[in-house]
């Protein structure tokens, strides 16, 4: 007797079935196809990594590393982490595979990521990202290409009009030092009003305060100095060139000097594609330039640029789900015609057509089954058809019926 409590998926994780699965894979397939036209190659790296890949890579003051990582000690005593994002692992892979002399590497990635967050709409503990990175390229042409590719994916998904590109720069190291000094001066004057987290950030990494989600912090952040007032000439000219390239590539954007991004490793370009259609979970794609990450993994200084986008958020933004696939239903009228029907079924599948056989119950039940599988066409094989080698073919959309010799079926339906 099934009197036990039915088991549920782990909090913050979801099963993808039916329409949700179709939306999900449509996002990934579309991104993969578009990224290929921009010359990106797909990689796959392990879901688990040495914890140091993220602790070093993401910066030990980032929210992800401090609060959100799924880390555990394995049976051999190693500290292992379920990856919270793709970039650090890709940089680790670049170094592990000796590719730091074969640059640039243009990588497309899709896969599950894990963060211990409070689950809500658009925020899960297992979620999925699509990701592209140019590993080993000075900007700003690569920055423009990476952003243009992201925009092309949003266009191909039909969600571009619902998103806005917000662009910022974090400048070069010298700009960042100047800016950090200005920030510390400003926030130190308001120290007591900062959240405990941000008081800690003020000592360890003041830029992080700009990304705080605490309401009181946000009020203070609104009055904070702007990075764009502290840029060196060369950082300012990098930023101006990127804006010019984006304009040439027809990517609309607006400048938002408040964007810093959640991870510690960015420099120069930082950007987010945001929407007002997903409530608090408004960032669908985010990324930027990071120049120190490959070094953290033990490689040489390697400038990189990339972004990651949440598949779930993109899937929610898509207006229409992709239609359920339709196919052909092969219907033997009685069990006696099953062998003939099976041969026809096999020839259709071998020709690359989606085909199913309805083989339970009387003809009515079988026709119902054909409708359930969203068949667009039924091939009906009764006693006469099996004997003559000519099938009844019924177009289930128009109701039109015709007689087609078995060996003409693939040509007619293909």
Q: In whole angstroms, how close is the CB of 21 to ligand ATP at the nearest point?
A: 17
Rg over alpha carbons for the chain, rounded to the nearest Å, is 27
Among 27, 54, 85, 246, binds ligand ATP (CB under 6 A): 85
Is residue 309 at the binding interface for ligand ATP, with CB under 6 A as the rule? yes
Q: In whole angstroms, how close is the CB of 120 to ligand ATP at the nearest point?
A: 9
Of the candidate spans 49-57, 91-99, 246-254, 284-292, the one that interacts with ligand ATP by CB under 6 A turns out to be 284-292
Q: In whole angstroms, how close is the CB of 319 to ligand ATP at the nearest point?
A: 18
Q: Which residues contact 88 (CB under 8 A, 6 or more apart)?
A: 49, 53, 54, 56, 57, 58, 293, 297
Q: In whole angstroms, how close is the CB of 309 to ligand ATP at the nearest point?
A: 6
Residue that is written with structure tokens 């974090």 in the block: 170
Of the candidate spans 183-191, 248-256, 282-290, 367-375, the one that interacts with ligand ATP by CB under 6 A turns out to be 282-290
Quick one: which of 245, 16, 15, 46 has its CA closest to 146? 245
Among 260, 308, 333, 391, binds ligand ATP (CB under 6 A): 308
The CB-based long-range contact list for 66-75 (8 Å cut-off, 24+ gap) reads 67/116, 68/115, 68/116, 68/117, 69/115, 69/116, 70/114, 70/115, 70/116, 70/125
Of the candidate spans 122-130, 200-208, 344-352, 380-388, the one that interacts with ligand ATP by CB under 6 A turns out to be 122-130
Residue closer to ligand ATP, measured from CB, 160 or 285: 285
Is residue 286 at the binding interface for ligand ATP, with CB under 6 A as the rule? yes
Residue closer to ligand ATP, measured from CB, 135 or 386: 135
Is residue 312 at the binding interface for ligand ATP, with CB under 6 A as the rule? yes
Q: CA torsion 270→276→282→288, rounded to 10°?
A: -10
Is residue 262 at the binding interface for ligand ATP, with CB under 6 A as the rule? yes
Is residue 115 at the binding interface for ligand ATP, with CB under 6 A as the rule? yes
Other Cβ atoms closer than 10 A to 120 = 11
Task: Identify the bridge partners of residue 144 per DSSP, sorted by sequence position.
Answer: none
The CB-based long-range contact list for 78-81 (8 Å cut-off, 24+ gap) reads 78/50, 79/50, 79/51, 79/52, 80/48, 80/49, 80/50, 80/51, 81/48, 81/49, 81/50, 81/51, 81/53, 81/54
Q: In whole angstroms, how close is the CB of 308 to ligand ATP at the nearest point?
A: 4
Window 207-246: contact mask with ligand ATP (x via CB under 6 A): ----------------------------------------
Nearest residue to ligand ATP, by Cβ distance, number only: 310
Is residue 375 at the binding interface for ligand ATP, with CB under 6 A as the rule? no
Q: In whole angstroms, how close is the CB of 63 to ligand ATP at the nearest point?
A: 7
Among 313, 366, 369, 394, binds ligand ATP (CB under 6 A): 313
Q: In whole angstroms, how close is the CB of 25 to ligand ATP at the nearest point?
A: 17
Residue closer to ligand ATP, measured from CB, 115 or 289: 115
State the angle between helix axes of 196-204 and 173-188 in degrees (0 to 180), rounded to the nearest 10: 140
Q: In whole angstroms, how close is the CB of 312 to ligand ATP at the nearest point?
A: 5
Residue closer to ligand ATP, measured from CB, 85 or 145: 85
Render the burial of 196-232: b for 16+ CB within 10 Å, e for the rest. Answer: ebbeebbeeebbbbbbbeeeebeebbeebbebbebbb
Q: In whole angstroms, how close is the CB of 143 to ligand ATP at the nearest point?
A: 16
Is residue 83 at the binding interface for ligand ATP, with CB under 6 A as the rule? no
Of the candidate spans 27-35, 39-47, 277-285, 392-400, the one that interacts with ligand ATP by CB under 6 A turns out to be 277-285
**DSSP reduced 3-state for 269:** strand
Q: How far apart are CA 8 and CA 21, in angstroms?
A: 18
Is residue 110 at the binding interface for ligand ATP, with CB under 6 A as the rule? no
Among 284, 293, 378, 393, binds ligand ATP (CB under 6 A): 284
Strand segments, DSSP code E, in 259-409 are 266-274, 283-290, 304-310, 327-332, 355-357, 375-381, 390-395, 401-405
Is residue 31 at the binding interface for ligand ATP, with CB under 6 A as the rule? no
Give percent helix, percent strand, percent coil of the chain, each to the nearest 5.
40, 25, 35
What residue ranges bind ligand ATP (CB under 6 A)?
Answer: 85, 115, 117, 122-124, 127, 129, 262, 281, 283-286, 308-310, 312-313
């Amino acid at each position: 007797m099934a009197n036990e409590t039915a088991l549920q998926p782990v909090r913050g994780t979801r099963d993808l079935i039916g329409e949700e699965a179709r939306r999900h894979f449509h996002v990934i397939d579309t991104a993969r196809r578009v990224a290929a036209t921009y010359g990106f190659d797909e990689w796959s790296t392990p879901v688990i990594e040495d914890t140091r890949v993220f602790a070093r890579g993401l910066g030990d003051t980032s929210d992800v590393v401090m609060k959100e990582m799924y880390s555990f000690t394995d049976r051999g005593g190693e500290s292992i982490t379920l990856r919270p994002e793709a970039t650090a692992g890709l940089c680790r892979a670049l170094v592990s595979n000796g590719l730091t002399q074969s640059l640039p590497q243009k990588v497309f990635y899709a896969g599950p990521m894990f963060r211990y967050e409070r689950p809500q709409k658009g925020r899960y503990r297992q979620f999925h990202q699509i990701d592209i990175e140019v590993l080993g390229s000075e900007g700003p042409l690569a920055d423009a290409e990476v952003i243009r590719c992201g925009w092309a994916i949003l266009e191909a998904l039909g969600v571009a009009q619902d998103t806005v590109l917000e662009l910022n720069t974090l400048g070069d190291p010298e700009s960042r030092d100047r800016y950090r000094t200005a920030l510390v001066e400003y926030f130190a004057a308001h120290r007591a009003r900062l959240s405990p987290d941000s008081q800690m950030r003020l000592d360890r990494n003041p830029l992080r305060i700009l990304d705080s989600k605490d309401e009181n912090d946000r009020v203070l952040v609104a009055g904070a100095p702007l990075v764009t007032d502290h840029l060196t000439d060369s950082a300012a000219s990098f930023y101006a060139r990127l804006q010019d390239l984006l304009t040439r590539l027809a990517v609309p954007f607006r400048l938002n000097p408040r964007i810093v991004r959640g991870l510690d490793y960015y420099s120069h370009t930082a950007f987010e594609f945001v929407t007002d259609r997903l409530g608090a979970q408004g960032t669908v794609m985010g990324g930027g330039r990071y120049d120190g990450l490959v070094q953290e993994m033990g490689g040489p200084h390697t400038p990189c640029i990339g972004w990651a986008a949440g598949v779930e958020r993109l899937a929610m933004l898509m207006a229409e789900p992709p239609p359920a696939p339709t196919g052909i239903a092969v219907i033997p009228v009685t069990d006696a015609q099953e062998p003939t029907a099976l041969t026809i079924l096999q020839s259709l599948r071998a020709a690359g057509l989606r085909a199913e056989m309805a083989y339970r119950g009387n003809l009515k039940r079988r026709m119902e089954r054909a409708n359930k599988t969203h068949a667009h066409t039924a091939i009906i094989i009764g006693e006469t058809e099996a004997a003559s080698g000519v099938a009844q073919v019924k177009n289930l959309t128009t109701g039109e019926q015709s007689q087609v010799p078995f060996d003409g079926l693939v040509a007619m339906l293909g």
